[in-house]
Chains A and B, each alone.
Chain A
Amino acid sequence: MFAPIAVLNDWSNGINYIFAFIIGIGFGWVLESSGFGNSKKLAWQFYFRDLTVFKVMFTAIVTAMTGLIFIDAFGWIDMSSILINETYLWSGAAGGLIMGIGFAIGGYCPGTSFTGFATLKVDSYFYIFGALLGMFVYGEVAPFIEPFYGGKYSGYMGTVTLQKFFGVSAGVVGFVIMIIALAGFFGAEWIEKKNGNIVKS
């Protein structure tokens, strides 16, 4: 077992942050070269014109998921040291719907807005200002909606994975997600052939 490297070797914040910066460079590079600095390319997914976001995101999820499942099966990684998001069903669902509405109106999500920022897309500057404003408002109202955020109305279930929830192995869940993703890719290619209008550069 050698991973997660930073956790098992008890890295200092300084070393951790250097690697955070390097990992970020890879993240930003891929987002920009895939076209995610351009809000029109992002928004056109919702009109079935350019389904690049779906393809990139699901290919990435399948790639990372498969890698994690295998290195876990080989005993190379301590999965209990990995940060896995806890499930808050209701606040997570409501937050997701609000984010989706913001995505369709604003054309970016936070990660892609930084990509727009780095390539001088003026609309991303306004989007980032808006996102900071929305978070400021959230911070101010947070104490009042705590029961829904983390309290008894939040739908808190602890750290639950799909395999735990459905009572199957991670490999089965991974296989099903792969099949769904493949079907989705064929569907996306078919839709783009009929209705496509890809933003190429």
Chain B
Amino acid sequence: MEKKNYISPYLGGVLLGLVLLLSFIISGRGLGASGAMMKFVVAIEKFLAQGHVDSNPYLAHYGATGINPFNDWLVFEILGVIAGAFLSGLIGGRIKKETNRGPQISDKQRWIYAVIGGALFGFGARLARGCTSGVALSGGATLALGSWVTMLCIFAGAYGLAYFVRKLWI
């Protein structure tokens, strides 16, 4: 299928805002992403070492004996995200196996940096109790003070570091 252009950012923003508003009206909560990843991590740890999960209060909160980490709103929301992105990509002709990167690095280098960046983001998201979806976007729309602080720090960290890692992207 022919590759179609992305939609206008302002149209995308209004639609995203309406999805978020609907989430508050229907479910009483905002959108999220990293929380579902944590449930997945705890599910694996549970499978391998339930005793270890039980003895760590942070992990036990997610998956102590008798708690199923997948019995969670965010997990089903993320399954929907994957389905929705797949449908949109299918209609837009954008489902294509590829690695996006700057012109000065190889695919393999990009993959290594993706792991490093992902690990830092994952660690930071747990420390801040959520990521760009759950804190910056959803917390931002509810005007939560801490969420705005975290949002500004995300962009400060990224824009602050960008110059030093420009070889990865430009």
Contact = CB atoms under 8 A, between A and B. Distances in A.
Contacts of A201: 3-6, 92, 94
Contacts of A40: 100-102, 169
A198 to B, nearest CB: 9
Contacts of A30: 12, 15-16, 19, 84, 88
Question: Interface residue tally of chain A, by bracket?
Answer: 35 or more
Contact of A60 (B94, B141, B154): B141
A26 B84 contact: yes
B159 to A, nearest CB: 6
Contact of B19 (A23, A52, A68): A23
A73 interface: no
A98 B118 contact: no
Mostly helix, strand, loop or mixed at chain A's interface?
A: helix
Contact of A100 (B37, B122, B158): B158
A33 B6 contact: yes
A149 B89 CA distance: 38
Contact of B157 (A68, A96, A134): A96
A100 B145 CA distance: 18
Interface string B118-152: 11111111111111111111111111111111111
B142 A84 contact: yes
B9 to A, nearest CB: 4
A19 B27 contact: yes
A64 B17 contact: yes
A110 B132 contact: yes
Most buried by A among B45, B81, B155, B157: B81
A100 B14 contact: no
Contacts of B132: 57, 99, 103, 109-112
Interface of B: 3-7, 9-10, 12-34, 37-38, 40-42, 45, 56-59, 71, 73-74, 76-89, 92, 94-102, 107, 110-162, 165-166, 168-170
7 contacts: A56-B13, A85-B134, A99-B150, A121-B99, A132-B37, A146-B57, A165-B145
Interface of A: 3-7, 13, 16-35, 37-41, 43-44, 46-47, 49, 52, 55-65, 67-68, 71, 77, 81-89, 91-115, 117-124, 126-140, 142-143, 145-146, 149, 157, 159-165, 170, 173-174, 177, 185, 199-201
